[in-house]
Amino acid sequence: MSSGITDTARGTAVVTGAARGLGQHFAVALAEAGHDVAILDLDDASATRELIETTGRRCLTVCGDASDPQDVHSFVAAVRNGLPPTRVLVNNAGISPYASFVDTDFALWQRVSRVNLDSMYLMTHGLVEDICANGHGRIVNLTSSVVWDAQARNMTAYTMTKSAIVGFTRALAGELGTQGVTVNCIAPGIVLTPDIEDRVAESQLEIYRNRQAIPHITAPEDLISTLLYLVDERTRMVTGTTLPVNAGRVIV
């Protein structure tokens, strides 16, 4: 009898924003765990596809906007036509522009909301019936530890969307529980992705280190075990929850 994430016939895992960074690590880990993988990203995800194909799993990559209804519709059709049924959805796509609230004009507010929230709605709504179809499915949404952090600066729009994701997750978990589908959040702290390396100064990273119980910046690899725990078929009684992975970030 197969059990847990080691099963080699696990269906398809869909990951948004997996061309690089945390999404890429998630996609490869899911392939190593036995899933075929489908990726929707604005950027070319061929590097991720090559990594996945070395595991022996299939990978579909589509360049498109997860916050655009037509792009999502076309992507979902391609997944249904080209890969096994979807059993896992990881809503990873998102942006985190730094701007004070005073400098956050309505266009930026809408852009952050569109990328971080509309994409989650569109992807989940497009695939929810597929995920529910066999009485077992997993949805994992990426929020952030910033939702608990009153010291965060220049992140009001981002924090608003990440707080909304927690509420969305809880509400959807309540709807889908009777169908054997769990819906959970992962809430990273600062994660040293290529994007963060490009945008965040070492002095700011040192501030984060000093506010953590473990004085090291989280790497993408540090979140993989949490993802695999949440998508494991044995984790059937964990739903509607948010798991912080933030090195014991101290919130005062």
Task: Tell me the catalytic residues.
Answer: 158
Structure token digits, residue 180: 């054997």
Q: Which amino acid is it at 156?
A: T
66-95 burial by CB neighbour count: b if 16+ within 10 A, else e? bbbeebbeebbebbbeebeebbbbbbbbbb
- Are the C-beta atoms of residues 23 and 50 closer than 8 Å to each other? no
Calculate the CA 70 to chain-centre distance. Answer: 21
